Amino acid sequence: MSNPASPPAVGVVDDRPPLTFPPGFLWGAATAAYQIEGAAAEGGRTPSIWDTFSHTPGRVVEGHTGDVACDHYHRLGSDVALMAELGLKSYRFSVSWPRVQPGGTGPANAEGLDFYRRLVDELLGHGIEPWLTLYHWDLPQPLEDVGGWPARDTAARFADYATLVADALGDRVRYWTTLNEPWCSAFLGYGSGVHAPGRSDGADAVRAGHHLMLGHGLAVQALRAARPTAEVGVTVNLYPVTPASEAPADVDAARRIDGLANRFFLDPLLRGSYPADLMADLAKVTDFGHVRDGDLATISTPLDVVGVNYYSRHVVAAPDPDAEPEPYWRAPSCWPGSEDVRFVTRGVPVTDMNWEIDAPGLVETLRRVHEEYTDLPLYVTENGSAFVDEVVDGRVDDADRLAYFDAHLRAAHEAIEAGVPLRGYFAWSLMDNFEWAWGYTKRFGMVHVDYDTQVRIPKSSARWYAEVIRRNGLAAQ
């Protein structure tokens, strides 16, 4: 494969050295079930909250749904062959709960499990390590109908589901992630309501976050009981949170958002407690009466690995003292109790999601998790960017995305040199897919997908990444 030109821009002298990653570094790419599989009503699968949400007018841009998505359900063989061509060492995918346990309770659906068995066998046959995520946001709709994640019972249902999947696939899957980005499930799903199930209640969002973590802890125990040799972890999406100025009010705004975005999850999962300042911030939203004795011990059940998803940084400022009579923050918010904190843009380059590109933030994030929370092996389980792509003569030259990966891999290497036990990196995403409330309008893939024909075209970033994997590092520029 060719190694297309990498950043920086033409005319800029680049003396960056080649970088080599530690032996055995796990190079991968990630996807999620609802974003790629399609076959929404096939093989015994029943609706999840995302089927309901995406079929509700006005919820997803242009009314897009995951009904067909990338049709991966029917293209598993050729998709894995493509992964092998790119030289992936690992593939991180998620299991669709309503495909393997329709309705979210009761026995497993053999046809659903067979799909994942075939996927895993195909991966292993190509020497690609399967990395399985149990929950990437597709709660079976009947569980939402009886309360969803704000209801405590959902945590127990999740552990039952974990046992079904471990019994079926535990003999061939080594790496298990319980939840992907519980912040999104809780605060986008039940706070701002921009994600499924589209509910907007701060107290429900906080309860959902707690029960997601409780479900995680119970699932870790279930996985260990079913497969003592499994390597089990959780994936959190983390952001450095920077105050817009050194003014005490801005610094306090950063503390609050850091509490909700990062410490709400890191502290219970890795320290077995909620931060006192966060609980004080949330006092006007909830009395934490949903937390029962023993929950935090369950939530902090020891793990083998921690997954970090990193995309960008938050820069925040204190509430606007001149806010209008009907302040913007009356709208449903994903920051309960801190709705009035302002998110500031710095004018630095952004991706097509309007997210600031901030590679040093990855170093900061990984160092923080390692230095403040855990000695466990860390994996970047997602990192990537959406940009507008153009197919020209059958090629997609995605120089922006390639530069984003390059900068973040250099950051990952810097973190390793600073002592972080970073063991692997998964690009988000293997291929363009259903970007939740944005439907198919945002492209994160290293592989371009034509949604009319389902033709896949590896972009320049994919060819470049293949070369990175082959060298186990970055070439001198």
Burial class (CB in 10 A: 0-12, 13-18, 19+), 417: exposed
Beta carbons of 242 and 365 less than 8 angstroms apart: no
**Backbone phi and psi for residue 420, each to the nearest 5 degrees, phi listed first:** -75, 130
Please state the closest distance from residue 187 (CB atom) to ligand IFM, in A.
Answer: 14
Rounded Cα distance, 49 and 198, in Å? 9
Of 48 and 309, the one with the shorter C-beta distance to ligand IFM is: 309
As a whole number of angstroms, the distance between CA 324 and CA 215 comes to 41
The CB-of-24 to ligand IFM minimum distance in angstroms stands at 26
| Structural Rg of the chain based on CA atoms | 21
Pick the closer one to ligand IFM by CB: 73 or 274.
Answer: 73
From residue 230, alpha-carbon distances to 214, 225, 236, 273, 386 in Å are 19, 10, 19, 26, 33
Residues in contact with ligand IFM by the rule CB under 6 A: 32, 35, 181, 309, 382, 428, 435, 444
Sequence-distant (6+) residues with CB within 8 A of 420 are 366, 367, 369, 370, 378
Residue 434 beta carbon to ligand IFM: minimum distance, rounded to whole angstroms: 8
Question: What totals of helices (H) and strands (E) does the chain contain, helices first?
Answer: 16, 15
Q: Which residue is nearest to ligand IFM (CB)?
A: 32
| Residue corresponding to tokens 């990193």 | 310
Listed in sequence order, the residues at least 6 apart from 309 whose beta carbon sits closer than 8 Å to its beta carbon are 180, 181, 235, 236, 237, 238, 380, 381, 382, 383, 428
What is d(CA 271, CA 282) in angstroms, rounded to the nearest whole number? 19
Query: For residues 165 and 184, which CB has a smaller minimum distance to ligand IFM in the complex?
Result: 184
Q: Are 375 and 421 in contact (CB under 8 A)?
A: yes
Q: Which residues are catalytic?
A: 181, 382
- Which candidate, 7, 304, 49, places its Cα nearest to that of 196? 49
Least separation in angstroms between residue 384's CB and ligand IFM is 7
Minimal distance in Å, beta carbon 429 to ligand IFM? 7
Minimum gap (Å) between residue 49 Cβ and ligand IFM = 14
CB of 181 to ligand IFM, least distance (A): 5
Instruction: Choose between 119 and 296: whose C-beta lies nearer to ligand IFM.
Output: 119
> Taking a C-beta distance cutoff of 8 angstroms, is the pair 235, 381 a contact?
yes
Question: What span, in angstroms and rounded, lies between the C-alpha atoms of 192 and 93?
Answer: 26
